Amino acid sequence: MNFIGPLRGFVAILWLVVVALLVIIVLRASRKKPAKNLVMPTLITAILAVVISFISAGLVFIRPEERGVVISALQPKGYREQVLEPGLRWIIPGFEQVVTYPISNQTYTMSIASSEGAVEGDDSIFARTSDGQEVLVDASVIFSVDPEEVIQTHIRWQNRYTSDLVRPLSRGVIRDAVSQFRVEEVYSTKRNEMSSLISEEMAKKLEENGLILNDFVLRNITFSEEYAASVEQKQIAEQQAQQAKFVVEQKKQEAEQARQVAKGKADAAVIQAEGAAQARLVEAEAEKKALLLISESLKNNPELLQYQYILKLAPGVQVMLVPNNAPYILPLPTLSPTPSETPMPTPTTSTP
């Protein structure tokens, strides 16, 4: 807990008490009144105030997100070689002082938008690609001071590491990386590769100076108006080509669908014809077998043919057989009575 503030407040109160006691002593002396009984309390209070003031002046509280570098007139190198860790620490007042450095993440942004970057106005990075196209790059560098290298960072850069190291270093690395790629690679096919290349190179150079690169964000890439217009026209042409390709594929699918439907109908017709032919064959085979059976029956019973013939004529046809040993068949006169006639007996046929 940081109690340096309350302690220094207590010291201020002690000194006020000492001043008040001195004023009382002077007033009593001016009035020729005894003040010996106030001398000892005043002396003790003054000594206590001096001691506590000395102690409080040397107390330093280091926050968890900080590290402290002790600048010391008592050290041969002018500084302590040990970094002050988080917590309450003490230095020698008058001979030493502490410079604190944050070790938490810091973000340095370079943007074309005037209100986003660390520098007012357009702070984007102008770069030229390998094929000569001009681009403007927006980027953010997220970094921190290495806790183990705080002293070296102080010696080399003090608190200027952001403006004198991170800014020029990142801009130079980005320009070098962009110059290794063509313009279409910068914004499409090799953008991730370029970002990785920038991160690797920047991390290496920052590490050499006691800083840690935690992340590199390639925020935006802006092109010249002429190239942006050409890219837009190219994209429109590609979209139109894709649309035409889609239409062609759709027509192919429709043609294939029609072909499949026609093939299905043709296959169905073939199957139907094959079924009809197979049924006719079965029917013919059955008729053949029936005729063979009839032929066999007629061989053994010749009268069967005449009998079947008579059955075919009856009962709707009335006929008679005439002798002469030949079975002539003649129609009989109409014997069915009309509605006005009296029914007559049905004549019978006889053979003489």
Residue with tokens 């002429």: 226
Q: Which of 29-43, 75-89, 106-120 has the lowest mean pLDDT?
A: 29-43
Instruction: Judge contact between 218 and 137, C-beta under 8 A.
Output: yes
Rounded mean pLDDT of 18-22?
Answer: 85
48/17 Cα distance (integer angstroms):
11
Q: Is the pLDDT of residue 164 over 50?
A: yes
pLDDT reported for residue 316: 58
Per-residue confidence at 351, pLDDT binned at 50, 70, 90? very low
Beta strands in 191-348 (DSSP E): 211-223, 319-322, 328-331
Quickly state the pLDDT bin for 10 (edges 50, 70, 90). confident
Give me 347's structure tokens. Answer: 């004549």
What is the tens place of the pLDDT at every residue in 57-69? 888 899 999 999 9
Helices (H) and strands (E) in the chain, counts: 9, 10
Cα–Cα distance, 191 to 181 (Å, whole number): 9
| pLDDT band, very low/low/confident/very high, at 324 (cuts 50, 70, 90) | low
Instruction: Decide if pLDDT at 161 tops 70.
Output: yes
Task: Report d(CA 215, CA 203) in Å as an integer.
Answer: 9
Asked if 64 and 2 count as a contact pair (C-beta separation under 8 A), the reply is no
Of residues 18 and 323, more confidence is placed in 18
